[in-house]
Amino acid sequence: MRGMTIIVQAISRLMAPAIFLLGVYVVLHGHLTPGGGFAGGVLIAGAFVLLVLAFGSEEWRSRALNWNATALESFGLFFFWFLAVLGMVQGVQFFVNVIAKSEPGTPYRLFSAGIIPLCNTAIGIEVAAGLFSIFICLAVMKMGEKP
């Protein structure tokens, strides 16, 4: 896929870091404000999609990028499963909030609510990498090309 004009490239070079940062903010503040792992993950994926659309896929060496995206997606899901099983390791139930049980933390602070911010981070990584892989597959890859 070819890139777009220099106007689009300049604007998206300015906008993409801001969108990425907003996505990270939404993921990390998911337990305090509206949003969460899913919305923030889609925002992060949107920043990369904007860059790929503006600069073209050749510039991005889509194969390596897609491999990284697939690996990151697996890592996100694995992290989420790990957090879920952590409750059983501690000898309680599956998916119990183990950190909040031992250290409750102050509500309304960034470091509160136990494993909920960690779960949000895991979901954010998984959703961002997954949606970006789908975009690369549907829009950029040629027929017969290896991902």
Binding-residue pattern over the window 47 to 86 for another protein, x denoting contact by CB under 8 A: --x---x------------x---x--xx-xx--xx--x--
Burial class of 4 by CB neighbour count within 10 A (0 to 12, 13 to 18, 19+):
middle
The nearest distance, CB 59 to another protein, in angstroms, is: 16
SS3 3: coil
For residue 95, which of 72, 118, 126 has the smallest C-alpha distance? 118
Residues 6+ apart with CB under 8 A from 99: 114, 115, 118
- List the one residue from 15, 39, 56, 72 that touches another protein (CB under 8 A): 39
Binding-residue pattern over the window 98 to 137 for another protein, x denoting contact by CB under 8 A: --x---xx-xx---xxxxx--xx-xx--xx--xx-xxx-x
For residue 113, which of 49, 38, 32, 55 has the smallest C-alpha distance? 32
SS3 107: coil
Given 3-state DSSP classes, what are the helix, strand and coil percentages for the chain, each rounded to the nearest 5? 70, 0, 30
Judged by CB under 8 A, the number of residues near another protein is 59
Q: Is 17 in the site for another protein (CB under 8 A)?
A: no
Q: Is 34 in the site for another protein (CB under 8 A)?
A: yes
Comparing CB distances to another protein, the nearer of 9 and 74 is 74
Q: Which residues of this protein are in contact with another protein, per CB under 8 A? A: 1, 26, 30-36, 38-39, 42-43, 45-46, 49, 53, 66, 70, 73-74, 76-77, 80-81, 84, 94-95, 97, 100, 104-105, 107-108, 112-116, 119-120, 122-123, 126-127, 130-131, 133-135, 137-139, 141, 143-147
